[in-house]
Each structure stands twice: as C-alpha cells, then as structure tokens.
Amino acid sequence: MLTHVIGTAGHVDHGKSTLVTALTGINPDRLKEEQAREMTIELGFAWCELPSGEEVGIVDVPGHRDFIENMLAGIGGIDAVLFVIAADEGIMPQTREHLAIVDLLRVPRGIIVLTKTDLVQDPDWLALMEDEICTAMQGTVLADAPLVRVSARNGIGIVELKQVLANTLADTPQRMDIGAPRLPADRVFSMPGFGTIVTGTLSNGTFHTGDEIELLPSGLTCRIRGLQNHKHKVDAAHPGQRLAINLGGVALEDVHRGDVVTKPGTYHPSRRLDVQFELLPDVLNPLKHRDAVKFFIGSSEVQGSIRLLGVEELLPGRQAFLQLELAGPVVTQKGDRFILRRPSPGETLGGGTVIEVHATRRYKRFSTDVIDSLEKKISGSSAERLLAIIQAESPVLVEDIYKRSTLDAEETRKDLIQLLEQGTVHLAAISENEKLNYLLADTYLVTVIEQVNTVLAKYHVANPLRSGMPREELRSKLKQTPKLFVFLIEKLIGQGVIAGSSQVVWQSGFEVRLNPVQQKAATGLLGLFKDNRFTPPSVKECQDFGGFALYHVMIEKGDLVQVNDDIVFDGKTYQFLRDDVIRHIQDNGSITVADFRDKYQTTRKYALAMLEHFDAINITKRDGDLRRLARGIKSS
C-alpha cells in the first residue's frame, strides 16, 4: 500500500494554502484568525487523490517569519515538497530561508510551483522568474526539481501539477517497517465524546487499534482507542501515513506538540546528542562553543547549548561535529535530520544529522580519537558505523543495536555477522533471548583486560598469602552485572589472560610463596596433626598458631580441609577418611556415627562433624541413624 505525505514551503502570501485548497478542495486554514488574516499561522492538513490512484496527505506550513518555528514542526518527515513561489514577486526572504531548511533536512524530492501566474501578463517576466528560480536552486536538493506554472484562483495548471506529483512520487520507496513505530505529534486537541486526539506522520512501524502505547518524553502509557487516516477509520496504520490517534485515558493537558507516540520501551529520551552540523553560509556570526540554540527535530523544539568539537569556532558555510546539551529530553534516532536556530534574534543557523542519540559523556573537545570515531559513525560503511557505535558503548544490547540501526533488521543482522566473523565484535550470550544478549567491541575487551590485571595486581600485593581475589569482590570493583561478569571472566580465563577457580581468580602465573618464617610456621602447624589425626586441633587453635593469613593459604592449597566452623583435618587424613568411609559402606552397606567413632578411635563430636560434612558434599546420604553412599560415589 503506497502511503506518502507531502508538504508546502515558501514565502508568506505566495499562495500555499490557496494552492492546497485547489488541489484538495479542503481549506487547510482551520483557525478563524487564519481565515480572517488570509495567512497560515498553525500547521494545516489536507489530502487529495492523484491520477495514479494514490491518496496523499498534505501538510501546509506557515510562511511568515514570525511563524517559522511552526513551519519546522510540519516540514520534517515528508516525502516531497511543493516549493511555492509567486510569479508576481519571485524569490523573497522567507523563500530563501525555507529553501535552506528544505535543503538542510534533505527532503528527498520536490516540485517548484510558480503560483499566481494569472497576475502576470508578460511572458518574458515569467521566463525571467524561472531563470532566477533555477539559479537559486543550484546546489540544493531542488536543483533538478520540475517547475509547474499554476493559477490556483482559476485552476490553470492544477491537473498538470497532480500528474507531475504522481510522477515524482512514483519512484519513492515505501517507508520501512522496522517494528519500532514512532509518531511525532504535530497537533493535539480534544473532541467531545472522543477525548484526546494527536495527529502526525507515522514512521518505522505499525499501530493497531487497541495497542498499548507510550507517550515520550513523559512516559505516560495508554491504549489506542481509534485510528483515522484522512478522516477514514482504520484498524491498522503503516509507516508513511498521516494519522489521527484517539488516546484512551489521557488528559489533553498531559500531551503536547512534539511528544512522540510509540510502543512502550522502544525509544528512550535523551538530553545529550552527538551530531554533524553545517552552518549556513549567510549566517551573520560564527558559531561559538557554548552558544545557546533552539533545537528542532520531528515536531519538537527544545532549548539547549552546543559544544564545538575539533574547532575553536565554526565559520559560516563550514561543517563540524557538535555535542548538543538540551534543556529537555527529546526522542530521536541515528540518522535523523535536525535544524538549529538562534534564540534571539531569531535566525536559522543550519542543520545536520544525529550521529549518536545517547552520548554518555562530555568529550574532550580536541581529541583526535573522538573525531575519528564520529567520522566512522557518519561516513563509514553500515558495518563500520555499527562497529563505531559498539566501540563507543560496549557493552550494548543486541536489541538496542537493531533499534538504532538505520537499516532493516536483515541488513543489520548481516553487518553484525560480518563484525562477529572478523573478531572485532564479540557476542556475550547470557540470555535465551538473543536480543537481550550483549555485543562487546574487541577494544572493550582490551580495556577490561587492563582493568582486571590492574585490580588483581593490587590485590596480590596487598594479600600475598591469598591464592586469588574472590570473584564477587572483583565484580564489584569492575561494576559489572553478574551474568556479564561471568561471561567476561570465563572468556579471559579461556584465553589464558588470567586463571581462576569457581571462587577466586588470579593473575596468570601468580602463586602464593611462603617466606622461610611462614614455611616454618606451616610445617609446625601440620606437626600438630601428626599425633592427633582423628582428634585434630580446632580451627581457632590453628589460626592462633600460625595466623589467619597462613591458615587461609593452607586451606586453599589443600594442606588443611575445614569441615565445619570448628573442626579441621589435615589434607592427607581427610583424603584417607573419605576413601576409608566409602570402602566401609561398600563392604557393610552403611555406617553410623558410633561406627565412625569406634573405627577411628575419636569422639562423637568429630565423627558427627565428618559424616555431616560427607552428607553436605553428597558422598553419603542419611537414612535415619545410618549413612549410605550417595549414588555414583566411588573411592578414589
């Protein structure tokens, strides 16, 4: 189903609204003040059927300088522009400003409409106007646009214009559906019996009646009570359609022009963006670091300031990378076009492309690494642009990469497979849901290795008698989520970067080395067990003898085995008891606490502690007063 929206642009009083009325039979000037002043103040909307049979929506925008910011709310997201110039006046100040905006927004196609031709009797004058217009269009997106002469008052050229419009839109691709619907609200109003209505142009996905939706940036959620396209009720709406959405359970005062209607959790508002920006050549003054600006994207307008990257100041006609720091949150995605205006005096400064939606930090202004990364994001291949995002934000959810890609899901998947095969990106598969897994850049792993080695080196210096750092302590130092931490540590262990057990990790090649004094103490401690194999010294006695650190080393090395809070055996005796108890049960079918006590000439305290320990580690299984072997247990 073909679905396209076109917009008007041009100087005030050049006949935009009259032209729309002639094309559609609908007067887009709906306000009494607009009709009284014969001047568009707010956005107007209409639609008409083309000779191709397609019904197109039309957004009529104001031309007067005082309402230029209302114009910006409507011009974004259109497929083509009707650029209107009056034959009796030619190119005027707002003509040039609207042309600059159309060019900065990269409106993909357009038609130049020379209106009010009935007011010009001299054919040479019309030819002169057309030459002037062609000269003005050079170097812009409208350089090759067709030009049609019309008189909306008497209908001359209207049929021809509709045919040219049909031809212009014939090769326009249908908007992609990437499963992330987004509708910037350009009008909000209330209707008796229905409630709150928002209108706008849908992109990136589909809405259905009854869908749960989210209003951003407020985060309010509600359901779609009804959908209309060109005043026709529809059950489903597709990318590219002009829509009126009836919101259920939302008060009029809770919704504003510039809000974005989407599915819950699909987009996340941001206050800091990385952008590429072009300053118009006829701007009066250079753009300076920290200059105040008005930011226009979609139908939203937000105050903010700019951080210039790589240059001291930006001269007219030049480009630069900026960080925009906004006073309020906006909803956008990579690749969106935007406009900046100076707040006072009002002046269109220029526009550009969103590179990064969620810039996590302020960059060093003159860092070559920062500039190189932004260059890759804006000018590289699609795979290189994805890599630049992953490098900048690792770890990043697969789900978020799909949302932020300007390609469809299949193309994005191909790029990700390419990056994974190259080894520049790694997949942290921590979830059964593929999209909730993480992507990690190779450069991120290098950083993690440096962090891990730094933390472990400090730990080994501070704790020379500990075999390794507890995993949870290391995770806390690295500030990683549990599942991602496990993935990272196991990957580093697999690569031989570090070593570890289920409880602790250590630098590769590290081992505990006792000095002569400590070695003598360890030998002396083990001597305490020789004459008391089955009634050994307590945990406290061992710690008091050699110190807690030495005791812990001997536990980790297996020289000692602690079976409960109070009782510890030397490693050789522990292994003997384990094997001998297994053999006893194999020969006799079971063992009791009394059997153990008598067999090893010990006390009930030690017998009970050892058998309870064997229960806990699944060597034995208690059956009343008896212990039998757990399934699959054999002597070593």
pLDDT one-digit tens code per residue, 151-203: 988 889 999 999 999 998 887 777 777 778 899 988 888 888 888 999 888 88
Q: Which residues contact 598 (CB under 8 A, 6 or more apart)?
A: none
Distances (CA, A) of 268 to 7, 135, 199, 272: 28, 43, 21, 12
Among 415, 320, 413, which Cα is nearest to 370's?
Answer: 320
pLDDT tens across 409-425, in order?
788 888 888 888 888 88
CB 414 within 8 A of CB 449: no
Q: How far is CA 126 from the centre of its chain?
A: 51
Cβ–Cβ contacts within 10 Å for residue 573, how many? 18
- Out of 1.10.10.10, 2.40.40.20, 1.10.3720.10, 3.20.20.20, the CATH code matching 516-629 is 1.10.10.10
pLDDT tens across 510-556, in order?
887 888 888 898 888 888 898 889 999 999 999 888 888 888 888 88
pLDDT confidence tier of residue 147, bands split at 50, 70 and 90: very high
CB 217 within 8 A of CB 302: no
Residue 330 DSSP SS3: strand
Q: Which CATH architecture has domain 5-170?
A: 3-Layer(aba) Sandwich (3.40)
Supply 412's token pair: 């994005």
pLDDT tens across 84-104, in order?
999 888 898 888 888 988 888
How many residues can be counted in the chain?
636
CB 255 within 8 A of CB 198: yes
What single-letter amino acid sits at 548? Answer: F
pLDDT tens across 492-503, in order?
998 898 998 888
CB 294 within 8 A of CB 342: yes
Mean pLDDT of 42-52: 78
What single-letter amino acid sits at 636? Answer: S
pLDDT, position 249: 85
The residue behind tokens 């707040």 is 343
Among 211, 240, 241, 238, which Cα is nearest to 226's?
Answer: 211
Least confident of 36-45, 94-103, 137-146, 369-378: 36-45
Cβ–Cβ contacts within 10 Å for residue 451, how many? 16
CB 433 within 8 A of CB 442: no
Name the DSSP letter for residue 175. Answer: P
Supply 438's token pair: 């993480």
CA distance 242 to 233: 12
CB 330 within 8 A of CB 303: no
Q: Which CATH architecture has domain 270-366?
A: Beta Barrel (2.40)
Supply 570's token pair: 């030397």
Q: What share of the chain is helix, strand, coil (3-state, %, to 5)?
A: 35, 30, 35
Q: How far is CA 351 from the centre of its chain?
A: 22
CA distance 567 to 563: 6
pLDDT tens across 572-592, in order?
999 999 999 999 999 999 999
pLDDT tens across 290-312, in order?
999 999 988 888 999 999 999 99
Supply 574's token pair: 């522990």
Supply 132's token pair: 């002037």
User: CA 469, 471, 473, 478 torsion: positive or negative?
Assistant: positive
Among 141, 142, 24, 17, which Cα is nearest to 67's?
Answer: 17
Supply 91's token pair: 């190119």
Q: How far is CA 357 from the centre of its chain?
A: 7
CATH number for the region 182-262 comes to 2.40.30.10
pLDDT, position 31: 38
Ranges for all domains in the chain classified under CATH 1.10.10.10 = 516-629
Ranges for all domains in the chain classified under CATH 3.40.50.300 = 5-170
Q: Which residues contact 442 (CB under 8 A, 6 or more apart)?
A: 423, 424, 425, 426
CA distance 141 to 103: 6
The H or E element spanning position 85 is strand 80-86
pTM assigned to the model: 0.62
Angle between helix axes 16-24 and 158-170 (nearest 10 degrees) is: 90
DSSP codes, 491-508: HHHHTTSEEE-SSEEEET
Q: Is the peptide bond before 108 cis (omega within 30 degrees of 0)?
A: no
Supply 404's token pair: 């932020």
Ranges for all domains in the chain classified under CATH 2.40.30.10 = 182-262, 270-366
The residue behind tokens 């400590």 is 518
CB 168 within 8 A of CB 109: yes
Q: Which residues contact 292 (CB under 8 A, 6 or more apart)?
A: 303, 304, 305, 342, 343
pLDDT, position 615: 92
CA distance 48 to 23: 7
